[in-house]
């Protein structure tokens, strides 16, 4: 991203204050979303989401594993995000590591619930095969191919679509002895489709000056004072919160931002659901 | 190429980031190769800077450097970033072909189109463009990169052993594969230029 001149910064801030952003959008309007499913045929589920110039791919692989001792009735999910150097030259080598970790942790917080596993957006108990012995390990990998702001929202949307596209093979348990690993037969014909109605989406509200905008481009993000990412599911429940940026926020402003995020997220969920349905229909 | 999917991004020519590497006579070409976590059959967490990535980065850089007219852009830097989305054999070749297209799209002056293809020898038959299964079968794997119009070989790598006369056949096959890819790339670039021209109103 090329540096911004004072005039350009002024223009961006002024536009946001007048509800007319540089690309003509209103403050609470998303860029056009385009969704593609099944982009990685080798994976159990995958999706590519384009939000303006931001382009991310999410892929989901399921492997057999052992559940943790603390939670023997739940499967395991791990989320990793990688920022590819194709997105920005500064991501080459280990440059993108900090941002990748940041995004991974934020996604984990929003989708996986607390340390006890309770309240997770993804239903972990559907991943269990044999209690305490065999479960599915889901590896969710995000890859940022092109970055123009709002990576967290795009990644969360990609993960939601990828989960709807995921097929977990049917497993039949053969002859289990009590202490050893039971043999499992993984069928080649899938599937159990994942239930994604409970999976939340993330809406990031960026505060520039005295107003907040939704879906900031990287130019707008460079002008932000702080940002709140709210993860909301279809029932309007908040599944996670992250605040970024150094400026302090008045608590009433925070509550207001959360309620705005809530209403915007319902629109986003509707758009995503229709895109998922369209993608599924075109597959058949 | 087949199930192998690769994205290449080219940044440059731009100012050299590391002044100590700046060359006053020509452009500095850098390349980084990375594989996505989900690119291979079993998902493995890739370490950045592992040996295979470094080697392939070096190979791609040397191959492209032979073709880019670096003396036209002194004191500048060209970055080629390769991201493998799905690996099914022949990743090296796919990366070089994609890099050629990306450099052409960036408008960077090159001597010629560089294309690359692999060939192998299994069950007494030379085979073109091995996929992962065929590659792991244990036969030899020859990777060839050529400058298509000038008919010069810029990249030649092989593993496993092969008798000399069969090697010539296999290499010829790979070179023919490269030429076929070069024709296809040329068509794609012409099509792209026509579209740009029509959008410009030419």
Which domains are present in chain B?
5-201 (3.30.230.70)
pLDDT for A177 equals 54
Determine which of A165-174, A186-195, A220-229, B181-190 has the lowest per-residue pLDDT on average: A186-195
pLDDT for B48 equals 64
Count Cβ–Cβ pairs < 8 Å, chain A vs chain B.
71
- In A, which residues are within 8 Å of B45 by CB distance? 80
Q: What is the mean pLDDT of residues A237-257?
A: 82
| pLDDT surpassing 70 at residue A220 | yes
Share of chain A above pLDDT 70, in %: 87
Question: For A145-156, how does the pLDDT look when each residue is reduced to its tens digit (9 = 90+)?
Answer: 888 888 888 888
Asked whether residue A2 is assigned to any structural domain, the reply reads no
Share of chain B above pLDDT 90, in %: 2
Question: For B26-69, how does the pLDDT look when each residue is reduced to its tens digit (9 = 90+)?
Answer: 888 888 888 887 777 666 666 666 888 888 889 888 888 888 88
Range of the domain at A31: 8-283
pLDDT for A165 equals 79
| pLDDT surpassing 70 at residue B1 | yes
Asked whether residue A160 is assigned to any structural domain, the reply reads yes
Of B38, B48, B83, the CB nearest to A59: B38
- Residue pair A24/A268 in contact by the 8 Å Cβ criterion: no
The alpha helices in B23-139, defined as continuous H runs, are 51-67, 91-106, 132-135
Confidence of residue A282 (pLDDT cuts 50, 70, 90): confident
Asked whether residue A220 is assigned to any structural domain, the reply reads yes
Interface test with A, best of B8, B43, B80 (most A CBs within 10 A): B43
| pLDDT surpassing 70 at residue A274 | yes
Q: What is the mean pLDDT of residues A85-101?
A: 80
Identify the CATH number of the domain in which residue A105 sits: 3.30.230.70
Interface test with B, best of A92, A147, A159 (most B CBs within 10 A): A92
- Nearest Cα neighbor of A168 from A196, A146, A205 is A196
Average pLDDT of chain A to the nearest whole number:
80
Asked whether residue A140 is assigned to any structural domain, the reply reads yes
> Among residues 13-52 of chain B, which lie with CB inside 8 Å of chain A?
32, 34, 36-38, 40-43, 45, 48-49
Asked whether residue A264 is assigned to any structural domain, the reply reads yes
> In angstroms, rounded to a whole number, what is the distance separating the alpha carbons of residues A46 and A283?
13
Asked whether residue A3 is assigned to any structural domain, the reply reads no
Asked whether residue A1 is assigned to any structural domain, the reply reads no
Taking an 8 Å cut-off on Cβ atoms, the answer to whether A141 and B36 are in contact is: yes
Average pLDDT of chain B to the nearest whole number:
85
pLDDT for B202 equals 56
pLDDT for A117 equals 56
Q: What is the mean pLDDT of residues B120-135?
A: 83
Long-range own/partner contacts, residues B12-19 (CB < 8 A, 24 or more apart) = B12/B76, B12/B77, B12/B78, B12/B79, B12/B106, B12/B108, B13/B73, B13/B76, B13/B77, B13/B78, B13/B108, B14/B76, B14/B77, B14/B78, B14/B79, B15/B76, B15/B77, B16/B75, B16/B76, B16/B77, B17/B77
Q: How many domains does chain A have?
A: 1
pLDDT for A180 equals 53
Question: For B70-103, how does the pLDDT look when each residue is reduced to its tens digit (9 = 90+)?
Answer: 888 888 888 889 888 888 888 888 999 999 999 8
ipTM comes to 0.77
Q: Report the gap between the CA of A141 and the closest CA in chain B (Å).
A: 7
Question: For A153-210, how does the pLDDT look when each residue is reduced to its tens digit (9 = 90+)?
Answer: 888 888 888 888 787 777 777 665 555 555 666 666 666 666 667 788 888 888 888 8
pLDDT for A182 equals 59
Q: What is the token pair recorded at A232?
A: 């909301």
- In A, which residues are within 8 Å of B11 by CB distance? 89
Closest residue, chain A, to B45 (C-alpha)? A80
Pairing of strands B76-86, B28-35: parallel
Asked whether residue A42 is assigned to any structural domain, the reply reads yes
Task: Tell me how many helices (H) and strands (E) chain B has.
Answer: 4, 7
Instruction: Report the greatest alpha carbon distance in chain A.
Output: 73
């Amino acid at each position: 991203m090329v540096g911004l001149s004072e005039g350009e910064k002024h223009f961006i801030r002024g536009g946001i204050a007048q509800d007319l952003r540089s690309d003509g959008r209103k403050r609470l309007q998303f860029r056009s979303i385009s969704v593609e499913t099944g982009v990685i045929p080798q994976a159990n589920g995958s999706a590519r989401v384009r939000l303006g110039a931001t382009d991310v791919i999410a892929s989901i692989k399921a492997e057999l594993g052992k559940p943790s001792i603390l939670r023997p009735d739940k499967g395991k999910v791990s989320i990793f995000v990688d920022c590819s150097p194709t997105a920005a030259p500064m991501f080459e080598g280990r440059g993108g590591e900090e941002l990748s970790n940041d995004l991974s942790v934020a996604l984990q917080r929003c989708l996986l619930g607390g340390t006890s596993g309770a309240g997770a957006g993804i239903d972990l108990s559907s991943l269990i095969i044999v209690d305490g012995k065999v479960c599915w390990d889901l590896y969710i990998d995000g890859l940022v191919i092109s970055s123009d702001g709002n990576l967290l929202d795009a990644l969360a949307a990609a993960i939601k679509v990828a989960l709807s596209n995921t097929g977990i093979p049917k497993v039949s348990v053969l002859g289990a002895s009590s202490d050893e690993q039971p043999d499992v037969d993984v069928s080649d014909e899938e599937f159990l489709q994942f239930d994604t109605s409970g999976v939340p989406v993330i809406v990031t509200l960026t505060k520039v000056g005295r107003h907040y905008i939704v879906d900031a481009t990287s130019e707008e993000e460079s002008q932000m004072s702080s940002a709140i990412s709210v993860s909301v599911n279809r029932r309007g429940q908040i599944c996670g919160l992250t605040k970024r940026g150094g400026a302090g926020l008045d608590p009433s402003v925070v509550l207001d931002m959360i309620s705005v995020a809530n209403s915007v997220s319902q629109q986003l969920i509707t758009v995503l659901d229709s895109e998922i349905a369209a993608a599924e229909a075109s597959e058949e | 190429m087949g199930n192998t999917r690769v994205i290449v991004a080219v940044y440059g020519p731009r100012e050299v980031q590391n002044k100590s590497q700046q060359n006053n006579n020509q452009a500095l070409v850098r390349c980084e190769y990375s594989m996505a976590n989900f690119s291979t059959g079993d998902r493995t967490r890739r370490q950045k800077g592992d040996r295979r990535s470094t080697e392939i980065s070096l190979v791609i850089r040397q191959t492209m450097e032979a073709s880019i007219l670096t003396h036209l852009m002194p004191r500048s830097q060209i970055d080629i970033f390769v991201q493998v989305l799905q690996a099914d054999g022949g990743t090296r070749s796919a990366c070089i072909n994609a890099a050629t297209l990306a450099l052409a799209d960036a408008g960077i002056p090159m001597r010629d189109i560089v294309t690359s293809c692999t060939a192998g020898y299994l069950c007494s038959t030379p085979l073109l463009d091995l996929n992962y299964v065929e590659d792991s079968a244990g036969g030899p794997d020859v990777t060839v990169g050529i400058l298509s119009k000038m008919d010069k070989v810029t990249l030649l790598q092989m593993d496993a052993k092969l008798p000399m006369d069969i090697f010539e056949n296999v290499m010829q096959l790979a070179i023919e594969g490269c030429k076929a890819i070069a024709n296809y790339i040329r068509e794609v670039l012409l099509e792209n230029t026509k579209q740009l021209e029509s959008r410009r109103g030419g």
